[in-house]
């Protein structure tokens, strides 16, 4: 049984801005990973694994220095979430289920 807890953290303006910036960068990375997977499949009919994308994070940080603001474990978790979303989507497609929307 999994338990979850909710905490309310009241931070100052600097902490709130940093959290918002981290979330924004995570959203951008999520969309970049999706775009990369779609591009690889559309053009080369190859799928990209989670670990391939994680290995590219250091070069991404060199090209986009703002990603250095976010801890590396957080960026890795974003890539893993993209991979999990892909796996879940394609398993539903394989079973012939309709989307949840």
Q: What's the pTM? A: 0.83
The CA distance from 25 to 31, in Å, is 10
What confidence category does residue 62 fall into, taking pLDDT thresholds of 50, 70 and 90? Answer: very high
**C-alpha angle with apex 87: 76 to 37, nearest 5 degrees?**
65
Mean pLDDT of the chain: 91
The residue whose two tokens read 């600097």 is 14
What confidence category does residue 1 fall into, taking pLDDT thresholds of 50, 70 and 90? Answer: confident
**C-alpha angle with apex 82: 76 to 83, nearest 5 degrees?**
90
pLDDT at 34 over 80: yes
Beta carbons within 10 angstroms of residue 16's beta carbon: 12
pLDDT at 101 over 90: no
DSSP type of residue 101: -
Specify the length of the chain in residues. Answer: 101
């Amino acid at each position: 049984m999994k338990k979850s807890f909710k905490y309310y953290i009241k931070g100052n303006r600097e902490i709130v801005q940093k959290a918002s910036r981290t979330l924004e960068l995570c959203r951008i990375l999520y969309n970049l990973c999706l775009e990369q997977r779609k591009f690889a499949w559309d053009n080369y009919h190859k799928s990209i694994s989670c670990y391939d994308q994680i290995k590219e994070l250091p070069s991404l940080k060199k090209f986009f220095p703002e990603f250095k603001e976010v801890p590396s474990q957080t960026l890795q978790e974003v890539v893993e979430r993209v991979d999990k979303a892909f796996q879940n989507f394609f398993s539903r497609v394989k079973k012939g289920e309709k989307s949840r929307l």
